[in-house]
Amino acid sequence: MRGTIIRQATMLSTLTSDSLIPLDHPIRRIKPVVEVALAELAPEFGEAKLFRPYRDTRFSADKSPYKTTIAAVLARGGYIQLSAGGLGAGAGAFHLASDQLERYRQAVDADRTGTQLERIAADLARAGSELIGHDVLKTAPRGYAKDHPRVDLLRRKGITAWREFPPSDWLGSKRAPRQLAAFFRSTQPLKDWLDVNVGESTIPDRPGR
C-alpha cells in the first residue's frame, strides 16, 4: 500500500543572521541605533560594513555564541562600536605592518614630519581623543635614542585616535551621528599624515589569510 505524497515547495529555508539571534538578546536593541547613525554618516564618510554578530568561542571559556557589541568600519576610514557600555569610535592605523612601521618610525624621527604628528596628537588630545594602537614598546625601538624627543610616538606599533562616549539618552538620537561626524573630521589630519608618510603595506598576504 502506497502512502500519501505530500508535496512542499522546498526542503530548505533561508535564515539570516538576525533570525538566529534570540529575541531578548541586547544586540537586537542596539543594532537599529547603529544602522541609523551609519546611514547618516555614509554621504561624507562612505558606506559601512557591519561585523558579524558571532563570537569566536574556540579558545574561550565563555561559549556565548553572540557578541554584545555592534561594530562597523567605514569605507573612507573609521571604526564604530556600540554596546551597553557606550559608544566608541576610532580612526587611524591600529596595527602597522612591518614595512609601514619602518616608514612610520622614519617619519616620526624626521623633524618636519615628526613635529607635524606631535601637533596632530596634541590637537586630538585637546578635542577629547586618546591615541591607542596594537602595541607600545617599553622603550625606544632599536636604532633610535632612548631620549629621542618623540620617543612616545616612536614606541608605538600602531596609532589610532579613539574616543569613547558613556551611555546616555542621546546615543539613540540624531545627536549621535553628529557627534561621530565631528570626531571623524577631527581625525582627518591624522589620516592625511598616515596617507602621506606611511601609506598602504606592500607586503603580500600570506596564503590562507
pLDDT tens-digit series, residues 74-121: 999 999 998 878 889 999 999 999 999 999 999 999 999 999 999 999
Cβ-based neighbours of 74, under 8 Å, separated by 6 or more: 38, 41, 45, 46, 47, 48, 80, 184
Domain count within the chain = 1
Range of the domain at 175: 22-55+66-197
For the segment 167-171, the average pLDDT, to the nearest whole number, is 84
14: in domain = no
Q: By the 8 A CB rule, do 54 and 48 touch?
A: no
152: in domain = yes
Report residue 152's pLDDT band, with 50, 70 and 90 as the boundaries.
very high
107: in domain = yes
Q: By the 8 A CB rule, do 188 and 92 touch?
A: no
4: in domain = no
177: in domain = yes
Q: What is the pLDDT of residue 70?
A: 82
Mean pLDDT of the chain: 84
209: in domain = no
| CA proximity to 66, closest of 107, 97, 29 | 29
61: in domain = no
77: in domain = yes
- Distance of alpha carbon 141 from alpha carbon 82, whole angstroms: 35
Q: Residue 10 pLDDT > 60, yes or no?
A: no
Q: What is the pLDDT of residue 108?
A: 98
Domain CATH number, residue 175: 3.30.1460.10
Cell matching residue 197: 608618510
Cβ-based neighbours of 81, under 8 Å, separated by 6 or more: 69, 70, 71, 72, 87, 88, 89
Better pLDDT: 67 or 126: 126
Please state whether 43 falls in left (phi above 0), alpha (psi between -120 and 50) or beta.
alpha
Cβ-based neighbours of 203, under 8 Å, separated by 6 or more: 97, 98, 99
How does pLDDT run across 37-63, given as a tens digit for each residue?
Answer: 899 999 999 999 988 766 677 777 777
